[in-house]
Structure 1
Amino acid sequence: MKSINEKYCSECGAVINAKAEICPRCGVRQPGVFNQQANEDKNRWLTAVLLCWFLGFLGVHRFYTGNTAIGIVQLLTLGGCGIWVIVDLILLVSGNYKDGEGNIIKNG
């Protein structure tokens, strides 16, 4: 009988942890766990790109990604007269942009 923190393996039917990506019994990757994280990352990247493109001169993308101090500076300088906006957009598109925690924001 499974509890709240458990689920059934999609392949062998064994009771496994609800957060498990791979069944320890049969070794099959469970659907949904990995794909959900990839979709969230892609949505986060797309949101950051759109914020940078349309509101980059106000530093809104910096606030969104957790870089509050740089966001305030960009807000006060109108995006470094547009220079920081272009640099940030290039970093986002190339997959080299880091959020406030040091994690890279990239497309998928």
Structure 2
Amino acid sequence: MKCENCGAEMGEATVCKFCGHTAPQKEAVQNVTINYYGTAPGAEAVPPLVAPVVAPVVQPIYQPVVQQVSDKSKVVAIVIWLIFGLFGGHQFYAGKMKMGLVYFFTVGLFSIGWLVDGISLFTGTFKDQHGYPIKN
């Protein structure tokens, strides 16, 4: 440290040995708490620059659609259709109780429904109560 009066080197002394000038006392360092933003209390707080969080792009996994098939037998359904079809036997076998009752009281929807169901049984588009085709 240099003397403010004469400019001589003083070192750590408080009084200059050349001119006798007394150096001003150093102020005691106070403990300053630094807040989250890196500034002292009372200073202007500026939030840190943070890059926006961007979620990673996830490519969807495409899986082949597995066709559900009924556990009912196609051969059994055709045999029931031939014997009891006008009275809704094949509808009861497929689990469609309400449609079976309609066929029972209308004689297979006046035989037209019976014929349509026979075509759908042979082509494999006849479905059970869950909407699965009877193909096995």
The TM-score normalised by the length of structure 1 is 0.58
Aligned-residue sequence identity (percent) comes to 34
The TM-score normalised by the length of structure 2 is 0.47
Structure 2: 5+ residue stretches without partners: 1-69
The equivalent residue for 1:97 is 126
Aligned to 2:92, the other structure's residue is in SS state helix
Query: Separation in 2 of the partners of 1:51 and 1:57?
Result: 10
For 1:1-108, what aligned pairs fall within 5 Å after superposition? 44-106=73-135, 108=136
| 1:54 Cα deviation after fit | 1.3
Rg larger in 1 or in 2?
2
- CA RMSD across the alignment: 2.0
Write 1 or 2 for the structure with the bigger share of helix. 1
| 1:85 Cα deviation after fit | 0.8
Query: Separation in 2 of the partners of 1:52 and 1:65?
Result: 11
Write 1 or 2 for the structure with the bigger share of strand. 1
Number of equivalent positions: 68
Greater relative CO (CA pairs within 8 A, separation 6+): 1
Aligned to 2:95, the other structure's residue is in SS state coil
The CA deviation string for residues 74-100 of structure 1, in whole angstroms up to 9 with x for no partner, is 000010111111100000000101000
The equivalent residue for 2:18 is none
Amino acid corresponding to residue 58 of structure 1 in structure 2: F
Query: Separation in 2 of the partners of 1:79 and 1:101?
Result: 21
Structure 1: 5+ residue stretches without partners: 1-39
